[in-house]
Structure 1
Amino acid sequence: MPPVQHSFQPRTGSADRPVLAIDQGTSSTKALVICPERGVIGTGSAPAPPRYGSGGLVEIDPAVLLGSVLDAGRAALADAAEPVAAVGLANQGETVLAWDPATGAPLTDAIVWQDRRAESLCTELAPHEQRLRQLTGLPLDPYFAAPKMAWIRRRLTREGAVTTSDSWLIHRLTGAFVTDAATAGRTQLLDLDRAEWSPEALEIFGLSDEPLPGVVDTAGAVGTTTAFGGEIPLTGVIVDQQAALLAQSVTEPGSAKCTYGTGAFLLAQTGDRPRRGTTGLVSCVAWRLGGHTSYCLDGQVYTAASAVGWLTDLGVISGAAELDTVGSSVPDSGGVTFVPALAGLAAPWWRGDLRGSISGLGLDTGAGHLVRALCEGIAAQVVELADAVATDLGEPLRSLRVDGGLTRSALLMQTQADLLQRPVEVSALPDATALGVGALARLGLDPELTAGQVVPEWQPSAVYEPRIGPAEAADRLGVFRAAVATLLDRTPPPAPATTEH
């Protein structure tokens, strides 16, 4: 049985004590023990790799997810050798599973956000796309949670509850049945303006009769857990990219960050009201504090580090650490263009059915050319997202703050600055997602604190300035856009599907 949920009132002075911040990600879970005065005093990690299969399958055993959370959290606590006042938990956002609310037992594997098996269901529901976008801020795509949830109900089980993975993890830790407003905003079931479940969206997906978790603020007492020793309150919950947005102090409209992880995710603040643009970006909840909702625009590149992993599996490089050494062995891409749509194209195209392409190969093409072409392909997609943000906000971005494992590649970061024609500021603090949810955990302990008081002052470890002019950047982007156009032309959108029974 899951632990019983307990009410919690913060103790005086508890916000000055360390907190445990856990980032449950796509391929691993990272945990930090963060002291407000001394910074990070303990770290831990645990693998949680998904498995890939035919037909767009990407799954993971829920026991692996939970085990990685427990192992990473306990390792961080052992490293710190100090008690903590609270726990914060960040999650993958769009990963879903069915489970038994009475026992907490999973009823299916977790369907990971990259999974594409709900494609035909989205095609079937295409007549509702514009209404869903107006209601929820999200385009109809298998990337989001609701199509996966409906697919589970049609194909796997009608039993139990079907939710995003955070609700299951929170239930196993505390006994509570909740999700936070930012994660709920990734389902395509949340009324964006009201930040409440939308009966109309639920009906469209055939989920009207589902037991739904309560939607809570991203900071505040959810319950307590004994999973990490003693009885510790869970006071911060949020989706991963919004946690990184907060950690990088992107709290004012017009500023943006990009996280380079399994995919690359660019988010820009829009303030206290959602901005429904025309460029294909997602409008969603950034966070909700004290009942007040902040919003952001969101764009995605489905494959970043996962594309590097693909090159690694082919033996082109031995890993991400070789991007710079191999890529620097040649002066340019040698005419090679790589559209790394290995899991389809997300914003602003929303063509998850597309496959990647490599063109311009010759007998003189080497590993360095492929590496440079991949870096250009990732960076060019991020430029498309930044341009879309500028269009929707009516002003260009002044700079781009970045974090994530791939920011260690000077080649990728310089390529990004060159193509973006803006400075790229690399976070000096690794694990921005965990830092963001740690800040929320502190806010949940002490509601008198403000976001500015719990987020570290922004101090980039490096700033990459453009080394090429606008004309050369435009030429290189033009080549990439032409390659994308070729993909779009030769791959028509899927035809509408017949209704499944």
Structure 2
Amino acid sequence: MSPSTTPVQGRAPRRPGVLAVDEGTTGTRAGVVRQDGSVAHVVYRPIGVDHPDHDSVEQDAAEIWTATLAVCREALAAAHADGVEVTAVALSTQRATAVLWDRATGRPLAPAVVWQDRRHAGDLLAFEADWDADLLARTGRPVGSRSPFYWAARQIAGNPRVRDAAEDGRLLFGTVDTWLAWNLTGGTAYATTPTNACSTGGYLLREHAWHTDWIERLGFPARLLPGLRSDDEVLGVTDEGVLGLAVPIAASMGDQHAALIALGGLEAGDAMCMYGTGTFADAATGTEVYPPVPGADGVLAHVGRREGDTTQFSLEAYCSTTGSALRWFCEDLGFFQTPAEISALAARADSSGGAWFVPALAGVRTPRWSPRATAALSGLTLATGRAELARAVLEGIAHSVCDLVDGVTATTGAPLRRIRVGGGVAGSDTLMQIQADLIGLPLERDADSATASLRGTAYLAGARQGLWPSLRTIVEAQPVGRVFEPALGPAERDGRRAAWRAVLAPRLAGAAGEHQTG
């Protein structure tokens, strides 16, 4: 039953809050976002990721659901004990991971295919010549190296359980948000939202519709597509038998889009960088969709958020080795004990002494898509010490993130107004100062970036449900984080960036003609 809001003599009335779920690739968390915009009662559970072969990445959708249900129930219990009444649910999820399940039994019919999966990259190459131009203009991304629709079509063709369910009318398909909403509502909600749909490569950005010609060309039956809602539209009402309360699922977003909201990316020119295993750079572009430009590979157009009938767009670029590069130096090579030691050592060095690190441990996406690019340590001499090497490591990461920012600004043709940063790796003061110096803009480190995705989608839900007067009101009410001011002049900054491009260029050799990512 839903917690009572009736005041009890001697007890304060319950305070409203939003149960927010952040379902990531390696774990799921839930917490309750309160009236002041802070989040409490955060509960986390890890989720397994399987790699059956070099190109395949899979998850157990049943595990995703049971882990999500467990953290939701625990967060709700803690909130109830704390005098908070949950009035809505908000979902933030990994985006292009897809699930096939049985409408009758509710069970997955195959392992979920994760957004990193590349098993069908070779097959998809055959579509590029005829479809890339159309898809880039209309969906914001090329054919790419993965497609949930193509994967699902191959499952229907080759997996007897999936084929039988399709023939019997029992087959359902969706990204993780669709899977969770369907389960939370007892099987009544079957929908997705633009910030999740756009990452599938089959969503028409301007029309708020599925690109059915492309999806059916991939062999996927359009009748199985989930319905499209706005990001702040109610997907359904939770089943009391599932969560113990019946409240609306009032918002659902892709995780990076939710984080962009929490970090203040509401207007064109507002941007964020989230530093984790890799780094995402996202920038709001207002109501305009920007097509790709030469020299800025990997910068993709997205829906930033859709409120009601209005879409606000964004651009996103990504580098895959940030925190993973630090772990590589520490755990695999044993050069340093911890990432914190790298930061502390780098702070002691005025410069890298001519040493360079190119963190292309998993290829390069921006400024030129080169999946076969490799990492490099260069410029080492007998004078290179551990402090200089540490400095080179952080400078290489910072330059790679600068490439993302440069790609975004080259695409829009305009500078960014503001950048807020978050993620675990952003906790390094040394890295953030180097980053501000190389970008040439102040960087504000969010005071609670670890919960950005939880808070962003909850802010959208709460604003729509009347918990706050507007989305802007609650976003701007959040505490200001630490600001890192650039200390380099334009000439020195330009010189360092030019030197980086000269170091990076040999690593990009052979990029021409390589398959682009989606």
- Larger Rg, first or second structure (1 or 2): 2
**Deviation of residue 43 (structure 1)?**
1.7
Contact 2:369/2:514, CA 8 A, preserved across alignment: no
Instruction: Return the letter of the residue paired with 1:311.
Output: F
CA 356–68 in structure 1, closer or farther in 2 if over 3 Å, else same: farther
Moved more, 388-397 or 294-303: 388-397
Look up the match of 2:473: 453
Please tell me whether residue 232 in structure 1 is matched to residue 259 in structure 2.
Answer: no
Contact 1:270/1:295, CA 8 A, preserved across alignment: yes
CA 37–397 in structure 1, closer or farther in 2 if over 3 Å, else same: closer
Write the deviation string for residues 345-388 of structure 1: whole angstroms up to 9, x where unpaired: 22442333434333345566565455433322332222122222
**Deviation of residue 403 (structure 1)?**
1.6
Which of the residues 420, 427, 436 maps onto 1:401? 420
CA distance in 1, matches of 2:462, 2:325: 36
CA 112–395 in structure 1, closer or farther in 2 if over 3 Å, else same: same
Q: 1:288-307 alignment to 2 at 5 Å?
A: 288-307=306-325
CA distance in 2, matches of 1:483, 1:43: 43
CA 221–412 in structure 1, closer or farther in 2 if over 3 Å, else same: same
CA distance in 2, matches of 1:467, 1:148: 49
Instruction: Return the letter of the residue paired with 2:462.
Output: R
Instruction: Return the letter of the residue paired with 2:506.
Output: T
Secondary structure in 2 aligned to 1:185?
Answer: helix
Please tell me whether residue 17 in structure 1 is matched to residue 37 in structure 2.
Answer: no
Write the deviation string for residues 197-221 of structure 1: whole angstroms up to 9, x where unpaired: 0122213433244611111111132
Which of the residues 347, 357, 360 maps onto 1:328? 347
With normalisation by structure 1, the TM-score equals: 0.87
Look up the match of 2:257: 242
How many residues are aligned here? 485
Instruction: Return the letter of the residue paired with 1:65.
Output: I
CA 311–118 in structure 1, closer or farther in 2 if over 3 Å, else same: farther
**Deviation of residue 150 (structure 1)?**
5.5
Contact 1:254/1:393, CA 8 A, preserved across alignment: no
CA 149–138 in structure 1, closer or farther in 2 if over 3 Å, else same: farther
Which of the residues 116, 138, 148 maps onto 2:141? 138
Please tell me whether residue 251 in structure 1 is matched to residue 273 in structure 2.
Answer: no
Write the deviation string for residues 159-185 of structure 1: whole angstroms up to 9, x where unpaired: 434432221122222221111111111
CA 152–70 in structure 1, closer or farther in 2 if over 3 Å, else same: same
**Deviation of residue 456 (structure 1)?**
4.4
Instruction: Return the letter of the residue paired with 2:447.
Output: A
Look up the match of 1:202: 215
Secondary structure in 1 aligned to 2:233?
Answer: strand
Moved more, 378-387 or 212-221: 378-387
CA 258–87 in structure 1, closer or farther in 2 if over 3 Å, else same: same
**Deviation of residue 427 (structure 1)?**
0.9
Look up the match of 1:7: none
Secondary structure in 1 aligned to 2:235?
Answer: strand
Look up the match of 1:415: 434
CA distance in 2, matches of 1:219, 1:429: 23
**Deviation of residue 285 (structure 1)?**
0.8
Look up the match of 2:182: 171
Secondary structure in 2 aligned to 1:29?
Answer: strand
Contact 1:57/1:116, CA 8 A, preserved across alignment: yes
Please tell me whether residue 181 in structure 1 is matched to residue 184 in structure 2.
Answer: no
Look up the match of 1:387: 406
Instruction: Return the letter of the residue paired with 1:452.
Output: R
CA distance in 1, matches of 2:406, 2:125: 28
CA distance in 1, matches of 2:515, 2:308: 45
CA distance in 1, matches of 2:34, 2:75: 12
Contact 1:93/1:240, CA 8 A, preserved across alignment: yes
CA distance in 2, matches of 1:362, 1:255: 41
CA distance in 2, matches of 1:447, 1:85: 9
CA distance in 2, matches of 1:250, 1:193: 20
Secondary structure in 2 aligned to 1:85?
Answer: strand
Moved more, 156-165 or 394-403: 156-165
Please tell me whether residue 433 in structure 1 is matched to residue 453 in structure 2.
Answer: yes
Contact 1:141/1:350, CA 8 A, preserved across alignment: no
Moved more, 269-278 or 235-244: 269-278
Please tell me whether residue 66 in structure 1 is matched to residue 65 in structure 2.
Answer: yes
Moved more, 247-256 or 269-278: 269-278
Contact 2:31/2:72, CA 8 A, preserved across alignment: yes
Instruction: Return the letter of the residue paired with 1:26.
Output: T
CA distance in 2, matches of 1:352, 1:400: 27
**Deviation of residue 63 (structure 1)?**
3.0
Secondary structure in 2 aligned to 1:55?
Answer: coil
**Deviation of residue 296 (structure 1)?**
1.1
Moved more, 14-23 or 87-96: 14-23
Write the deviation string for residues 87-132 of structure 1: whole angstroms up to 9, x where unpaired: 1110111222332233331222233222333321332222121111
Instruction: Return the letter of the residue paired with 2:285.
Output: T
Moved more, 143-152 or 221-230: 143-152
CA distance in 2, matches of 1:335, 1:412: 18
**Deviation of residue 436 (structure 1)?**
0.3
CA 491–219 in structure 1, closer or farther in 2 if over 3 Å, else same: closer
Secondary structure in 1 aligned to 2:85?
Answer: coil
Please tell me whether residue 191 in structure 1 is matched to residue 194 in structure 2.
Answer: no
Q: Let me know the Cα RMSD of the aligned residues.
A: 3.0
CA 126–65 in structure 1, closer or farther in 2 if over 3 Å, else same: same
Q: Unaligned 5+ residue runs, structure 2? A: 6-12, 164-170
Secondary structure in 1 aligned to 2:224?
Answer: coil
Write the deviation string for residues 33-68 of structure 1: whole angstroms up to 9, x where unpaired: 111147333222222253446523333322332233
Which of the residues 505, 508, 514 maps onto 1:485? 505
Percent identity between the two aligned chains = 34
Moved more, 172-181 or 226-235: 226-235
CA distance in 1, matches of 2:21, 2:287: 27
CA distance in 1, matches of 2:197, 2:143: 16
**Deviation of residue 235 (structure 1)?**
1.2
Moved more, 433-442 or 272-281: 272-281
Secondary structure in 1 aligned to 2:69?
Answer: helix
Contact 1:283/1:298, CA 8 A, preserved across alignment: yes
CA distance in 2, matches of 1:15, 1:219: 25
CA 413–492 in structure 1, closer or farther in 2 if over 3 Å, else same: same
Contact 1:338/1:356, CA 8 A, preserved across alignment: yes
CA 436–420 in structure 1, closer or farther in 2 if over 3 Å, else same: same
CA distance in 1, matches of 2:504, 2:380: 17
With normalisation by structure 2, the TM-score equals: 0.84
Look up the match of 2:230: 217
CA distance in 1, matches of 2:439, 2:430: 14
Secondary structure in 1 aligned to 2:504?
Answer: helix
Secondary structure in 1 aligned to 2:142?
Answer: coil
Look up the match of 2:89: 87
CA 22–456 in structure 1, closer or farther in 2 if over 3 Å, else same: farther
Secondary structure in 2 aligned to 1:117?
Answer: coil
CA distance in 2, matches of 1:38, 1:207: 41
Look up the match of 1:308: 326
CA 354–445 in structure 1, closer or farther in 2 if over 3 Å, else same: same
